[in-house]
Structure 1
Amino acid sequence: MPDTIRLDAADTVVTAIRALEAGHPVEDTATTGLIPSGHKIATRAHRSGEPIRKYAQIIGYAATDIAPGDHVHTHNVEFRNTDADYEFGTDLRPVAPASGDTFMGYQRENGKVGTRNYIAIVTSVNCSATAARQIAAHFTAERLAAYPNVDGVVAFVHGTGCGMAGDGEGFEALQRVMWGYAKHPNHAGVLMVGLGCEMNQIDWLLDAYGLKQGPLFQTMNIQNVAGLRRTIEMGIAKVEAMLPLANAATRTPCPASALKVALQCGGSDAWSGITANPALGYACDLLVAQGGTGVLAETPEIYGAEHLLTRRAATPEVGEKLVSLIRWWEDYTARNRGSMDNNPSPGNKAGGLTTILEKSLGAAAKGGTTPLTGVYKYAEEVRATGFTFMDSPGYDPASVTGQIAGGCNLVCFTTGRGSAFGSKPAPTIKVATNTEMFTRMTEDMDVNAGEMLTGGVTLEEKGRELYDLFLRVASGEMSKSEAQGLGDYEFVPWQIGATM
């Protein structure tokens, strides 16, 4: 097994596969100091200000002169905002023909397909969070034993809904999240719980989206019901009435085209863009070939790689929408006195990632190679099939909340440092980027993409393994995060705008 990996002949750095001592031979040079595993080594001299390349792309600029064999990281690399000349539709690759794959899902009346069968308690405001949690808590495993087709009763609560403007980006995003969860195919029934005087009025949502109350969709406000205790009692009664109806749903064969998978990463390291993310990208290509949909998100984490995605835009309009998101984020961070390079996190940097440009080039690999067919606002319903993109922050819970609201019925989450994340109602599959972390956190990780480095497994083999797991988990097999009960506290709508 080699000690380093070179990703492209044009790269000016290589990555250490294991920790290397000073003086260790590396290509035509030798290390000038200790190099941690996953970190970069210069293979040629860089003068101060000269670009540093990995993935055949610029990941930063030398902050000082860098000698061959030097450790290349935050101490000698500087970040600069991107200044790309965007091309649209210049890298459109044909999609492979479908082979008619299926999974066992829940066919809903509106034509959507669920991979799980929950009853959801959705709150409009933080003030109704306790009521929602206590309603859901009543439905223990013992009480649900009589309803084997119901996966659970889940409270989706958040810390906003009031003290905000009644229009604009923040309000509209929250309304889209509520609508998306109210209509999600993984929910057999929904109870919406509000306070009554909040800015985010449930009735406004019903009017805006044409939602109609019925046996499996109910609403209530604490103030109208006359208090917390009575609200909890009434909420329990409403859910009890839904349970027999929800339990009547059964799994039937459904086409793989009905799968909409959130492509997500968190706790990334240098191996994310080399093992797990490309494997997920290959799995995404297999899904798209079936007519399914992959939804990439985390706009700050494609920054510096967006020019590669615009080349895959199916139309110029799709590409322009992506560029407009990048410009919005540059303005958003600037007016809040931040930087796009505030991401990567300290953990990402410890794992070998130096700048957001490097992180983004690896993160974008989750989207595979097929055409980019649509770009969506945060929590907007994803209507296009194929490979798509949704605007979101890089904060994993907020990003996944938006993807699920957009209709994702499955989540695939790659991680290098080890992320304890799960989601409801769409289950999360976790992919480790390296064998060491997979072994240490085997109870949390579903797939070890580190075998691509340490076990001789090919990209195609690992991507196929992931795709096959999509179908099994969609059919009811529990992912490891799901089995541990994760997902009750990961509902985090993105708060945009001022809190008043």
Structure 2
Amino acid sequence: MPLVIDAAMTPLIRLNGADNVLIAREALSLGRQVQLGDTVVRIRAQVPAGHKIAARAIPRGEAIRKYDTVIGRAARDIEAGDHVHTHNIELIDFERDPGFGLDVRPVDYVPQAERASFMGIVRPDGRVATRNFIGILASVNCSSTVIKNIAGWFTPERLADYPNVDGVVAFAQTSGCGMSSPSEHFDVLRRTIAGYARHPNLAGVLIVGLGCERNQVSDLMSSQGLETDASMRTLVMQDSGGTRATIEAGIAAIQSMLPVANAIERRKVSASHLKIGLECGGSDGFSGITANPALGAAMDILVRHGGTAILSETPEIHGVEYMLTRRAVTPEVGQKLLDRLAWWERYTRGHNGQFNGVVGPGNQQGGLANIFEKSLGSAMKGGTTPLQAVYEYAEPIDESGFVFMDSPGYDPVAVTGQIASGANMICFTTGRGSMFGSKPAPTIKLASNTPMFTRLREDMDINCGLVIDGERSVQEMGQDIFEHILQAASGQRTKSELLGLGDHEFVPWHMGIVS
């Protein structure tokens, strides 16, 4: 699959010679005549930028190909120059050869002494952080108000004496009781909370429970191998005297952590310590041409330098999973990915979910016709290196290189799982303009097109629309992204951090019944 498009400023983009659709670089008006090689194509509809038009006549039933990948078939006869979208594409599913390992290529690793570096925070146990927060976690929704009040006490004025602390953040949640236990949902919740409690970007942690919930604090700690010490404290409201008394005790606990949390300094460390969660949201027709493949190019660089790239959003690889199974280092790794997709097929059966074909209104408005087309772009974020391992949601990631973590496509849920798995940075591509941020791992947002980047400059960090504009190749854009990651990992604030986002994006996956 090509990762460099023709930089010539023609109004139509051909992504692969075998494609029978073209991408509109700009909005095209009805009747406009566009030169395409030796022929002239007359545009037969008003076509928004990022949408597809037929490069030639496509008879009913013929496969629609983009990047030489089948994204559906013609629901009716389509004329050259027609707008090709949801009204004339139908989704077709078909058997795909997983081809385990067929596309595995050796990684040209950079020698240790020559690897890129950033200014990181090294914890006493050797874990490397990119930020320095103190976190407060609720075992149950019933203690969420308390933890928000504890965190709210630590205003910028009260933290002024601790300039090395990035903040005190409350990770409130809406579950922890009224749920089946034991259950997969229960295990996932505990695994997620524990992943945050262990996260290197948290210098100190306070876990607060109510006392009568199913997710008992003591059982949470023991089941997840967590132990209390000076930087890991717990409180139970029913044992602490109630709401006000627990808030006071929580404030005192955090105050005792602050001097130690502040006593850090950044130092030069290898980029091999970076674990990047890859996310996309509000995608458009340019996402799979600019931001996603450029991020994939950046991840190829990261992997060469010993780092870890975490692709997720399982419903958004549906239809192109063979692109990943062919890169699996073993058949077992590839099969684990297929097993997760089979689980999703069962999980979503009978529901009008994205896995079953229909993408969101914003995706459709941006030019994406169905889940296969969206998946085609989404999978590109993972680059081209071998797939080393497949993990369940919020499972600790212990392999370096390119890996996959199972998750929904819903952005806050997917990113929460990635952070719980150990991601210390998030890279988030968007074509429509998702306003997203995360703590304790910061988010870098990559815009797929220049008009959106310009319109939402306060929210977007990097303009990958430069690829469409002919100012950067995908590989050059990937290098720019990699360098930006190193700067952000060293402490440079991202746009979402400057806007204060991330306090409400802790959303563990709800996957069970509520009773």
CA distance in 2: counterparts of 1:377 and 1:449, whole angstroms: 31
CA distance in 1: counterparts of 2:503 and 2:451, whole angstroms: 29
1:79–1:341 Cα contact (<8 Å) kept: no
Q: TM-score, normalised by structure 2?
A: 0.95
5+ unaligned residues in a row in structure 1: which ranges? none
Q: Which deviations, in whole Å up to 9, do the C-alpha atoms of 1:254-287 show, x marking residues without a partner?
A: 1110000001111100100000011100110110
The aligned residue for residue 21 of structure 2 is: 13
CA distance in 2: counterparts of 1:281 and 1:167, whole angstroms: 38
CA distance in 2: counterparts of 1:355 and 1:253, whole angstroms: 45
The aligned residue for residue 286 of structure 1 is: 301
Q: Match of 2:468, SS?
A: helix
Instruction: Report % sequence identity.
Output: 55
1:341–1:355 Cα contact (<8 Å) kept: no
Q: Which deviations, in whole Å up to 9, do the C-alpha atoms of 1:70-106 show, x marking residues without a partner?
A: 1110111111334312110000122122132111111
**Aligned partner of 1:59 among 42, 55, 71:** 71
**Aligned partner of 2:188 among 155, 164, 173:** 173
The aligned residue for residue 487 of structure 2 is: 472
Aligned residues: 500
In the TM superposition, what are the counterparts of 1:278-427 in structure 2 within 5 Å? Answer: 278-336=293-351, 338=353, 340-341=355-356, 343-427=358-442
CA distance in 1: counterparts of 2:412 and 2:225, whole angstroms: 28
CA distance in 2: counterparts of 1:499 and 1:307, whole angstroms: 35
CA distance in 1: counterparts of 2:332 and 2:33, whole angstroms: 49
Q: Which deviates more, 330-339 or 256-265?
A: 330-339
The aligned residue for residue 243 of structure 2 is: 228
Tell me, yes or no, if structure 1 residue 4 matches structure 2 residue 12: yes
Q: CA deviation at 1:433?
A: 0.3
Tell me, yes or no, if structure 1 residue 96 matches structure 2 residue 104: no
Q: Which deviations, in whole Å up to 9, do the C-alpha atoms of 1:286-316 show, x marking residues without a partner?
A: 1001110000000011111111100000111
Q: Which deviations, in whole Å up to 9, do the C-alpha atoms of 1:114-168 show, x marking residues without a partner?
A: 0001000001111000000000000000100101111100000111111111122
CA distance in 2: counterparts of 1:339 and 1:301, whole angstroms: 8
In the TM superposition, what are the counterparts of 1:267-286 in structure 2 within 5 Å? Answer: 267-286=282-301
Q: Match of 2:349, SS?
A: helix
Given the superposition, is the C-alpha separation of residues 225 and 111 from structure 1 closer, same or farther in structure 2, using an over 3 Å criterion?
A: same
CA distance in 2: counterparts of 1:197 and 1:410, whole angstroms: 35
1:104–1:475 Cα contact (<8 Å) kept: yes
In the TM superposition, what are the counterparts of 1:419-458 in structure 2 within 5 Å? Answer: 419-458=434-473
CA distance in 1: counterparts of 2:404 and 2:358, whole angstroms: 19
Q: Which deviates more, 200-209 or 210-219?
A: 200-209
CA distance in 1: counterparts of 2:354 and 2:278, whole angstroms: 24
Q: Which deviations, in whole Å up to 9, do the C-alpha atoms of 1:191-239 show, x marking residues without a partner?
A: 0011111111221121112211000000111111121000000000000
In the TM superposition, what are the counterparts of 1:252-267 in structure 2 within 5 Å? Answer: 252-267=267-282
Q: TM-score, normalised by structure 1?
A: 0.98
CA distance in 2: counterparts of 1:444 and 1:338, whole angstroms: 28
The aligned residue for residue 179 of structure 2 is: 164
**Aligned partner of 1:112 among 127, 132, 151:** 127
Q: Match of 2:467, SS?
A: helix
The aligned residue for residue 22 of structure 1 is: 30
Moved over 3 A (4+): 335-339
The aligned residue for residue 240 of structure 1 is: 255
2:276–2:426 Cα contact (<8 Å) kept: yes
CA distance in 2: counterparts of 1:433 and 1:71, whole angstroms: 21
The aligned residue for residue 202 of structure 1 is: 217
Q: CA deviation at 1:455?
A: 4.0
CA distance in 2: counterparts of 1:482 and 1:179, whole angstroms: 24
**Aligned partner of 2:87 among 58, 62, 75:** 75
Q: CA deviation at 1:25?
A: 3.0
1:285–1:369 Cα contact (<8 Å) kept: yes
Tell me, yes or no, if structure 1 residue 488 matches structure 2 residue 503: yes
2:357–2:372 Cα contact (<8 Å) kept: no
Q: Which deviations, in whole Å up to 9, do the C-alpha atoms of 1:417-472 show, x marking residues without a partner?
A: 00100000000001100000000001111100001111421112111111011111
Q: CA deviation at 1:43?
A: 1.4
Q: Which deviations, in whole Å up to 9, do the C-alpha atoms of 1:149-189 show, x marking residues without a partner?
A: 11100000111111111122111110110010000000000
Q: Match of 2:428, SS?
A: strand
CA distance in 2: counterparts of 1:378 and 1:338, whole angstroms: 19
CA distance in 2: counterparts of 1:306 and 1:2, whole angstroms: 32
Q: Which deviations, in whole Å up to 9, do the C-alpha atoms of 1:451-498 show, x marking residues without a partner?
A: 111142111211111101111110100001111100000110010011
CA distance in 2: counterparts of 1:82 and 1:229, whole angstroms: 59
CA distance in 1: counterparts of 2:371 and 2:285, whole angstroms: 12
Q: CA deviation at 1:381?
A: 0.6
Q: CA deviation at 1:339?
A: 5.7
Q: Which deviates more, 200-209 or 363-372?
A: 200-209
**Aligned partner of 2:169 among 142, 154, 158:** 154
CA distance in 1: counterparts of 2:32 and 2:322, whole angstroms: 36
Tell me, yes or no, if structure 1 residue 461 matches structure 2 residue 469: no
Q: Match of 1:15, SS?
A: strand
Q: CA deviation at 1:338?
A: 4.3
Counterpart code for 1:34 = Q
Given the superposition, is the C-alpha separation of residues 350 and 311 from structure 1 closer, same or farther in structure 2, using an over 3 Å criterion?
A: same
Q: Which deviates more, 452-461 or 366-375?
A: 452-461
Q: Which deviates more, 38-47 or 374-383?
A: 38-47
Q: Match of 1:454, SS?
A: coil
**Aligned partner of 1:45 among 57, 82, 101:** 57
1:40–1:73 Cα contact (<8 Å) kept: yes
Given the superposition, is the C-alpha separation of residues 16 and 74 from structure 1 closer, same or farther in structure 2, using an over 3 Å criterion?
A: same
5+ unaligned residues in a row in structure 2: which ranges? 1-8
CA distance in 1: counterparts of 2:155 and 2:384, whole angstroms: 44
Q: Match of 2:137, SS?
A: strand
Given the superposition, is the C-alpha separation of residues 107 and 445 from structure 1 closer, same or farther in structure 2, using an over 3 Å criterion?
A: same
Counterpart code for 1:6 = R
Q: Match of 1:144, SS?
A: coil
